[in-house]
Amino acid sequence: MNQRDRSVIAFILAVIAVLVSIDLVNDSTEGVTFSHVLVEGSIAAAALFGVFYLLKGSVALKHRLEKEITDFTDFKKEAELWKTESRKYLDGLSKAIDQQLSKWKLTAAEKEVAFLLLKGMSLKEIAEIRNTAEKTARVQSMAIYAKAGLAGRSELSAFFLEDLLVPPAVANSTAEKS
């Protein structure tokens, strides 16, 4: 239920509580039975309870939303900080990859395809980005693998990323020494 629905229902319940209360005042001057007053009083109380329950839920929802916004903002700041701090390493990695691609004597187009392959893009996505046919992207990727002496995309990725990932045993022993 959204905030507008909650507000409409709370308003209707408030109107019911007010109307029943007015009726109770009129009934008390007319001398109606106690059971009649009790029933109408219960209706007014239930309507008021509904109003407060809906308003309480709205306030709780608002607080949760504010907390989520704060958490998201903190997460976004943390991500930006990580991105800024790691930029120099990423730039260095990009340069190192480019140097290796040059050693393999890849053309500029093949280098571009190689970087897109390393980013995990499909041949169809690469073709769309480069405004070429998917078949062209496939041929260029096969040329990259041949010039590099690699069997395919996974070996291309592993060539550059294998040393970046520390095996769990090494990571655990490094953490224990700290």
**Under a CB-based contact definition with an 8 Å cutoff, are residues 3 and 58 in contact?**
yes
119 in the same domain as 42: no
Confidence grade of residue 176 (pLDDT, cut at 50, 70, 90): low
pLDDT given for residue 110 in this prediction: 95
- Residues of the chain with pLDDT > 70, as a percent, come to 91
Residue 96 maps to a domain? no
Q: What is the CATH number of the domain that holds 131?
A: 1.10.10.10
Q: 10 Å Cβ neighbour count for 101?
A: 22
Stretch among 40-44, 106-110, 116-120, 159-163 having the lowest mean pLDDT: 159-163
Q: Is the pLDDT of residue 108 over 80?
A: yes
155 in the same domain as 109: yes
113 in the same domain as 58: no
**Under a CB-based contact definition with an 8 Å cutoff, are residues 137 and 127 in contact?**
yes
User: By residue range, what is the domain housing residue 152?
Assistant: 104-166
Q: Distances from the Cα of 83 to the Cαs of 39, 77, 93, 98, 175, in angstroms?
A: 65, 10, 14, 21, 23
Question: Could you give the number of structural domains in the chain?
Answer: 2
Q: Is the pLDDT of residue 38 over 80?
A: yes
Residue 98 maps to a domain? no
Q: What average pLDDT does the structure give for the chain?
A: 86
109 in the same domain as 68: no
End-to-end CA distance of the chain, in Å? 51
Question: What's the whole-number mean pLDDT along residues 143-162?
Answer: 91
Question: What's the whole-number mean pLDDT along residues 44-57?
Answer: 86
| Cα 64 from Cα 85, distance rounded (Å) | 31
140 in the same domain as 76: no
123 in the same domain as 79: no
113 in the same domain as 79: no
DSSP secondary structure, 4-25, as one string: HHHHHHHHHHHHHHHHHHHHHH
132 in the same domain as 60: no
pLDDT given for residue 67 in this prediction: 92
Confidence grade of residue 171 (pLDDT, cut at 50, 70, 90): low
Q: What is the pLDDT of residues 110-141, one digit of tens each?
A: 999 999 999 999 999 999 999 999 999 999 99
3-state helix vs strand vs coil in the chain, percent to 5: 85, 0, 15
pLDDT given for residue 175 in this prediction: 57
Of 85, 113, 142, which residue sits at a domain end? 85
Residue 125 maps to a domain? yes
Q: Is the pLDDT of residue 174 over 60?
A: no
